Amino acid sequence: MNKIHDFIIIGSGASGSVIAHELTRAGADVLMLEAGKRFSAASFPDNELDANANLMWNGGMDASADASTLFIRGKVVGGGTVINQCLLDRFDDDALDSWQTQSGIKFFNSKIMAKHYDAVESNLTLHSMEQKDWNKNAELYVKGFENKGFEWAPLRRGQSNCGEGNDCMQCLGGCPRRSKQSMLETFLPKAEQAGLTIQSEFLAREVIHGPSFVAVSGYQGNKATTFYSRKVILASGALGTTELLLRSQLQDKLPALGKGFHCHPQWMTVALFNDVIDSHKGAFQTVKSSDARFRKAGFKLENVFAGPIAIGLLKPGYGFDHQRFMAQYRNMSCIEVAVRDQDPGTMTLDNRDRLVINKPLSDADRQRASNGNALVQDIFEDLGAKEVMTSPLQIGLHLMGGCAIGTNPNHCVVNESFQVQDHPNLYIADSSIFPNAPGINPSLSVMALSHRASQSILADCGINRANASLQEQATS
């Protein structure tokens, strides 16, 4: 048998990196397994096409079973934090109270979670976007909101010394300035300094839980490989973690596995103006809706844009009309509607052992989207847009659920100690444990939950002092 590690962490994103940081600081022997490649600020792809192919699963996107919704997730050391916009907000009482009610777990409240938010924020550089950061797309957004009497607020973003003339569109394919506070620039270097080993380009396919250790089997290239550890933390996100447990044939033991999937479905509306907007230049996302009426109505409006390949996919049709539309790329402004979806989807494996995502939208969720899109149309028309196009394509950027946390084993996969039910050597703290859709960007809360999980894991393993690994404890 190969070496038995103290811990194996599968996934290197917001959850896995925070947990690795805490476990290695305590002196544990930790191996991190990541399916994606390792890039650096100097080696990230410099164009949208290569970024999609090299930093994301399945060349850029997964699709729901009916192909109505596209899901985007990172496949790279640093996970989704490398390709997201690094918008870092805490959950409000509305989100946490709904989680406490649904899960039965008492630590879902602002007072208890505050110390975990504080702990992860102490390792990040956070910047509330200022008016000097706005591009013309943001200026139109604010003007449109103020014309209608809607409330807006600056976004809080993880960035450090981003500098003048930054281009956050490129940042979506990996930040070349080392400014964006991805795991690659924050928690992972500290964890590696404390002894973390990262094995990239390893595709985990199965976990086998035993009373004394867990085996993780997969492929390094074409070579079948198995690693062993006393404890395993699954941190591959809603799709990756759920798929791994399904492949490990735990459905019969975990009746809630694959259920409760949410994605904050989003629709982008693009408006064409006579003036040049250049929404693709500068900090393209700086302000957000903060209107309580929107929160109550179950949606938010986001100041956002996308690269030409993505915009081209969003525009329906083909031929001369599509060419005419794309020729006006510099004249485009965009606002996105993100829905706090109420009705969950499911994830299963088909007879070819491939993940199948069923995420139909209920009438209530469609109505939320329709109400939000109508507001955006009205805002753009009021601003003098000559043409407004709401893309029919639904996009899921915030992938959540499938392994819900809770107190009832019939309705949840993970208990309040972040252990998989009846599998004491398996832990999960990533977005797959979300009980429902919070309606707020999830990245910071994934980090906070993972910080709490790390404290629970260390306590369960009896590690309560610096430089005391499991092996040292066993021989003392």
Q: Residue 339 carries which DSSP code?
A: E
Does 339 show up as a binding residue in the annotation?
no
- Angstrom CA distances, 416 to 7, 20, 406, 409, 420, stand at 20, 20, 6, 11, 10
Which residue in 199, 231, 195 sits closest to 215, CA to CA?
231
Using left for φ > 0, alpha for ψ between -120 and 50, and beta otherwise, residue 252 falls in: alpha
Residues making up the chain, counted from first to last: 476
User: What residues have CB less than 8 Å from 110, skipping those under 6 apart?
Assistant: 90, 91, 92, 93, 96
Question: Could you tell me the end-to-end alpha-carbon distance of the chain, in angstroms, rounded to an integer?
Answer: 24
396: which 2 tokens?
């899921």
**At how many degrees (to 10) do helices 14-25 and 443-460 cross?**
30
Place of tokens 């964006």: 180
SS3 content of the chain, % helix, strand, coil (to 5): 35, 25, 40
Place of tokens 């003339």: 165
Q: Please compute, for residue 113, the number of CA atoms within 13 A of its CA located in the half-sphere on the CB side.
A: 23
Annotated binding site for FAD: 76
Annotated binding site: 76
